[in-house]
Structure 1
Amino acid sequence: MDNSFDVIVLGTGLTESITAAALSKAGFKVAHIDPNSYYGADEASLSLDELVRWIDHRKEDNHSVSHYGEVPPHARQYSVSLAPSVIPSIGPFISSLIASGVSRYGSFKLLGRVVIYDGGILKDVPQSKDDIFQSKVMSLLEKRRVTRFLLFAAGKFENSKELHGQENLPLLDFLHRIFSLSEATARAVAYALGYCWFISETTLPALHRIRAYLKASGRYGPSSFLVGYYGSSGEIAQGFCRAAAVGGGVYILGRSITSISSVDTIEPEYPVLTPDLPRFAIEVHDFPDLLHCRCLISSTSLLPGHLRTLADVIRPSLSPCGSPQPFAMARCIAIVDGPITLSLETEDSGTSDASDSSLIVFPPGSLNGGSAISAVHVMTAGPGTMSAPSGKGILYISMPLPTNSVHSAEILLRPYLTAVLLLFRSEQQQQQTLICSTFYMQELVSCTTSTSDPLVGLLAVPSLSPHTTQGVDEAAIVAEATFRKATSFLNGETKDIEGCEHHVFWPVLAEMEEEEGNVMQW
């Protein structure tokens, strides 16, 4: 194998995989390396056997993780996601899926019900004006107030008199003060329509998310979100890796990276510095020769400490759509024997469909023994998403932590797991048995920007944002920025690109709609 490449990408997470596919499609010689034997890195989709090995590996590395129960039969029929998320129907990520052709490698379905836990019961969250006026729990006055807010949030609110001077007000206070929404309605809007993480989240970022999700509603159906089959993020990352391989990318999995070094171009063998010279050398375990590249792109978790401070860190654009980053995520994966469906009432037909892909939101302070400052999301996945065999289901519970916690993930999330199982038993009128469960902390690796000039050609990308609804869009944004910086350098320019918004990498939605029915490629 030729050991010299234009770009070497370390890690097969979603962001790195999108970037590798784009670079490979653009004609660069790409090598993609991951020490894991599977695609997806920290966002992988694993069978239960692979999940147990992942747990054992974390324990060996002294990570906090606990596992209960035995692995059930047919373990390979499960696809368990390490980073459960949904896909907004309109946004950078869905554009990248369609434009790259990677959407052909996977299957998707609409997310079922979005419900909020309120007073011990589940209540549907209206996603449209029709949903609001069909609601039987809101008064006519409250319906009018909610409709007025949704019309405001769906429009150009940036220069409105309602928002003026209120941008940094906590969203709940804004909803009470400006639109006179009741406590229950304001909580539903903040946590199950704006998907706020914390009680202190400010108004402007949440309004931008709400507007994006309102616009996404109706594109493919009543829900604003899609769910990927076979574990979603990890399966999609593998699809982008396949696209990179089709473009000529070379893949090395299951081999640890022994060392990474920058090549000293002052040595006599490099008398003149040119863009074609290799700048980095990577030693891979059990490979006879070093691998060389002109540009190195790596996840922050795979860069050694001495290079992490020298890397040019690619961050999501500082747009109003951003959310405050948590310190860590407490996560639970639970395998359930029994149905995990929430019925979908269909007014027109008088029948009730059922979906095993739903999102349950616990606002802060809504559950005795739960968090008073963080919202908790519970995603369900079952046979309808090809993630579990018939009659079985998967529950994903996630809680953002604003600071380091003295409690384990199990202590934080056990009350929510108990509550969700009781809710499903009540709805299904039958017993659900917990087969096995795993609790763990997801540490969010940060990368401090260097105070000096970064090492030329060394780019670092953050881990996938753990935000349930906007994480994949941030991955696409970071991938585009990484692609631009890499291609600028590889083409002989080392300066930063200004005004990225004027250079369209993925096709804009208007162009996609005009091209509807055609196969679009990069």
Structure 2
Amino acid sequence: MDEEYDVIVLGTGLKECILSGLLSVDGLKVLHMDRNDYYGGESTSLNLVQLWKKFRGSDKPPPQLGSSRDYNVDMIPKFMMANGTLVRVLIHTDVTKYLSFKAVDGSYVFNKGKIHKVPATDMEALKSPLMGIFEKRRARKFFIFVQDYDQSDPRTHDGMDLTRVTTRQLIAKYGLDDNTVDFIGHALALHRDDHYLDEPALDTVKRMKLYAESLARFQGGSPYIYPLYGLGELPQAFARLSAVYGGTYMLNKPECKVEFDEEGKVCGVTSEGETARCKKVVCDPSYLPNKVRKVGKVARAICIMSHPIPNTNDSHSVQVILPQKQLGRRSDMYLFCCSYAHCVAPKGKFIAFVSTEAETDQPETELKPGIDLLGPIDEIFFDVYDRYEPVNEPSLDNCFISTSYDPTTHFESTVIDVLNMYNIITGKVVDLSVDLSAASAAEE
């Protein structure tokens, strides 16, 4: 403890671990502390006994659910886009050597009361029951435009400057109806609300391309991958990486009080009467509660089942997005399911999550449209947590605070936060132009 560090990272949540890995690889001297005696912070994975303790106050789960240690239940479950930013960060830092990934079986969208596979290419658009025959032709034309679009080649722009044209205008050009726009915007481009319609179309086109490229990568039924044994593996992999580069890890450090000098700048962290000195602190919102504000809350149900989600082609791992309009809500709802195929439950068991931005104080009622799609449930737990974002000015106090995790079941928004923080901390941009084939081991 009695040393000087470039950066002290507090909390071993996913964002903090990725940052500590990136900063260690950069050659900074990093000390990483957590008040808990386990990795992962809010984004940890629990076995059955831990799950019962957290939600039921007892540590005696029913024996018919199988062995406690066969369960790895992610508290903040998210899939990764196979060609997405997080995978690029994993390859850039070489963390892939500590992890095994497996493709996710399915990607679905809720439309007019039913679950449908998300069409991602012009060929899939023609087969999809989501659209009538004329709409299919229009959608196919739009998908072909997106697939062929190349920002550096004006011949593919169809006379439009997508940095100026809004998504609404682009869609109007192809005459797509509201239902089609709904699944394109929310299930392909993964927007969380409808603000994107009045923003430049380039972002949406890039997101659709990412989806299609990720889908093509493993020729699976979805563009997503997920680590064996759950996301709890990720913080630990980054911790190993940080250690390889000389980072120091200390779990189970109570209090972790951030110290400031007379100018209000960070100068160290005190725990158990010892102070480690540092120039910068990186942490999750729980370590500096007076420098964050509450911006919302997430409601979610965690379910243990003995079957896959109905109408998803018996997928052992699947994401279903329920766009807000389909439910008459202000925010989307997300279903996430994985099973023994990803080593997160014993054979024959499935873990499903339903999550959304809470709009009321009744999570049971609010999550019902998603829960109703799951079929029979063995056990269900409800959870609501607050979301925070930093309100401090990092240039004045040298505190870099991550934003709480949102209800999405994919990583795109999480990793954008991490890369922005990295940029503010170091003044540099992470080089993500990596050779994606380096992670081809993921096809297992």
Q: Contact 1:334–1:436 (CA<8 Å) still a contact in 2?
A: yes
1:117 — aligned with what? 110
Offset, 1:356 = 0.6
Q: Is 1:283 the equivalent of 2:237?
A: no
| 1:175-324 map, 5 Å | 175=171, 177-199=172-194, 201-202=196-197, 204=201, 205-222=203-220, 223-232=222-231, 234-264=232-262, 280-284=267-271, 287-305=272-290, 308=291
Choose the corresponding residue for 2:402, options 461, 464, 487.
Answer: 461
1:467-492 residue CA offsets vs partner (Å, 9 max, x unmatched): 333xx3444444344445444xxxxx
Offset, 1:194 = 2.3
Q: Contact 1:13–1:464 (CA<8 Å) still a contact in 2?
A: no
**Distance (Å, rounded) in 1 between the aligned partners of 2:412 and 2:116:** 28
1:338 — aligned with what? 307
Q: Unpaired segments of 5 or more residues in structure 2?
A: none
Q: Is 1:150 the equivalent of 2:146?
A: no
| 1:72-111 map, 5 Å | 72-111=65-104
Offset, 1:417 = 0.9
1:332 maps to amino acid: A
Label 1:25 to 1:459 Cα distance change in 2 as closer, same or farther (>3 A). Answer: same
**Distance (Å, rounded) in 1 between the aligned partners of 2:350 and 2:402:** 33
1:282 maps to amino acid: V
**Distance (Å, rounded) in 2 between the aligned partners of 1:335 and 1:262:** 46
**Distance (Å, rounded) in 2 between the aligned partners of 1:35 and 1:161:** 53
Label 1:196 to 1:35 Cα distance change in 2 as closer, same or farther (>3 A). Answer: same
Q: Is 1:385 the equivalent of 2:342?
A: yes
Label 1:220 to 1:289 Cα distance change in 2 as closer, same or farther (>3 A). Answer: same
**Distance (Å, rounded) in 2 between the aligned partners of 1:30 and 1:289:** 17
Label 1:340 to 1:75 Cα distance change in 2 as closer, same or farther (>3 A). Answer: farther
1:420 — aligned with what? 374
Task: Classify the secondary structure of the residue corresponding to 2:217.
Answer: coil
1:40-80 residue CA offsets vs partner (Å, 9 max, x unmatched): 111112212222333479xxxxxxxxxxx858341221111
Choose the corresponding residue for 2:134, options 127, 135, 141.
Answer: 141
| 1:3-82 map, 5 Å | 3-55=3-55, 72-82=65-75
Task: Classify the secondary structure of the residue corresponding to 1:197.
Answer: coil
1:508 maps to amino acid: S
TM-score normalised by the chain length of structure 1: 0.73
Q: Unpaired segments of 5 or more residues in structure 1?
A: 58-68, 267-277, 314-324, 345-353, 422-431, 488-496
Task: Classify the secondary structure of the residue corresponding to 1:416.
Answer: helix
Q: Is 1:329 the equivalent of 2:298?
A: yes
Offset, 1:5 = 2.4
Offset, 1:265 = 8.5
1:245-286 residue CA offsets vs partner (Å, 9 max, x unmatched): 2222222222322522113589xxxxxxxxxxx9523222xx
Label 1:251 to 1:217 Cα distance change in 2 as closer, same or farther (>3 A). Answer: same
**Distance (Å, rounded) in 2 between the aligned partners of 1:26 and 1:399:** 36
1:385 maps to amino acid: H
Label 1:52 to 1:37 Cα distance change in 2 as closer, same or farther (>3 A). Answer: farther
2:242 maps to amino acid: A
Label 1:261 to 1:162 Cα distance change in 2 as closer, same or farther (>3 A). Answer: closer
Q: Contact 1:45–1:230 (CA<8 Å) still a contact in 2?
A: no
**Distance (Å, rounded) in 1 between the aligned partners of 2:421 and 2:131:** 47
1:495-518 residue CA offsets vs partner (Å, 9 max, x unmatched): xx3xx5xx5x33404xx15x8599
Offset, 1:148 = 1.2
Offset, 1:17 = 0.6
Offset, 1:131 = 1.9
1:63 — aligned with what? none
The structure whose residues are more often helix, as a share, is: 2
Task: Classify the secondary structure of the residue corresponding to 1:257.
Answer: coil
Offset, 1:16 = 1.1
| 1:400-415 map, 5 Å | 400-401=357-358, 405-415=359-369
Task: Classify the secondary structure of the residue corresponding to 1:467.
Answer: coil
**Distance (Å, rounded) in 2 between the aligned partners of 1:174 and 1:22:** 38
Task: Classify the secondary structure of the residue corresponding to 1:51.
Answer: helix
Count of residues paired in the alignment: 430
2:386 — aligned with what? 443
Label 1:463 to 1:109 Cα distance change in 2 as closer, same or farther (>3 A). Answer: same
| 1:163-182 map, 5 Å | 167=166, 169=168, 175=171, 177-182=172-177
**Distance (Å, rounded) in 2 between the aligned partners of 1:330 and 1:178:** 38
Task: Classify the secondary structure of the residue corresponding to 1:420.
Answer: coil
1:182-241 residue CA offsets vs partner (Å, 9 max, x unmatched): 444333323322233335542535444223222333123243221222222x32122111
Label 1:10 to 1:136 Cα distance change in 2 as closer, same or farther (>3 A). Answer: closer
**Distance (Å, rounded) in 2 between the aligned partners of 1:149 and 1:168:** 12
Larger Rg: 1
Alignment RMSD (CA, Å): 3.5
Identity of aligned residues (%): 24
1:361 — aligned with what? 321
2:431 — aligned with what? 506
Range 78-87 or range 177-186, more displaced: 177-186
Offset, 1:164 = 8.4
Offset, 1:108 = 1.2
**Distance (Å, rounded) in 1 between the aligned partners of 2:409 and 2:157:** 25
Offset, 1:115 = 2.0
**Distance (Å, rounded) in 1 between the aligned partners of 2:160 and 2:263:** 58
**Distance (Å, rounded) in 2 between the aligned partners of 1:264 and 1:372:** 48
Offset, 1:288 = 4.3
Q: Contact 2:122–2:144 (CA<8 Å) still a contact in 1?
A: no
1:65 — aligned with what? none
2:183 maps to amino acid: A
1:152-195 residue CA offsets vs partner (Å, 9 max, x unmatched): 334148895496875274xxx864x3322244433332332223
**Distance (Å, rounded) in 2 between the aligned partners of 1:474 and 1:483:** 15
Offset, 1:362 = 2.1
